[in-house]
Chain A
């Protein structure tokens, strides 16, 4: 069974540009989560999608947005990039919509903003 996949592995952008990160969940999983892992800040919850709908959102500005497609894959868009957006962005998926579900993580996309 294929795990959660993310693309690209690395992404280098300059300040002010837009970044698009992609995630494919494990087959059969309907929930997709996005996290930001910045150096020294641990994992910060960004977004949660299930069945195409945004279910929860972390404390991030509106320039962080995303969507979930009918095949349950998801993309995260970051507009007007700032230097502090440099981080590892992790995507996770789970089978059911509930707090106790195990989340399965992808390897992440390393975003560097110059």
Chain B
């Protein structure tokens, strides 16, 4: 069975500092991987996804993530945090067959300190 863990339920960074949100997955085969963001009182929005090909994936708002198969990781980074990045971030995984559901991690709440 697939699963996702996110290290740190809450992360605080200073404005302008590096953002690093960690995600590790468990899957018997290389899965599809996603990062979603949820701003307060809103639904989720896709930041980026890895399906195949290049392991470094660039997303919206300056975020990127690297798929590392050997480490079963898909950590999310952004070089310089903005106040507007404060939100809840969810890593997710799904298999590659037609009826595989998406499994979401527990989420990491990012705070940006001015």
Contacts and interface: CB of A to CB of B under 8 A. Distances in A.
Interface of A: 4, 33, 35, 41-43, 45, 48, 55-56, 58, 90, 92, 97-100, 102-108
Nearest to B50: A100
Interface string B32-59: 1010100001111110010100000000
Most buried by B among A43, A98, A106: A43
Contact of B96 (A42, A99, A105): A99
Interface residues of B, number: 27
Contact of B43 (A42, A98, A102, A108): A108
A42 B105 contact: yes
Interface in B94-114: 94-107
B43 A99 contact: no
A4 B46 CA distance: 14
A42 B41 contact: no
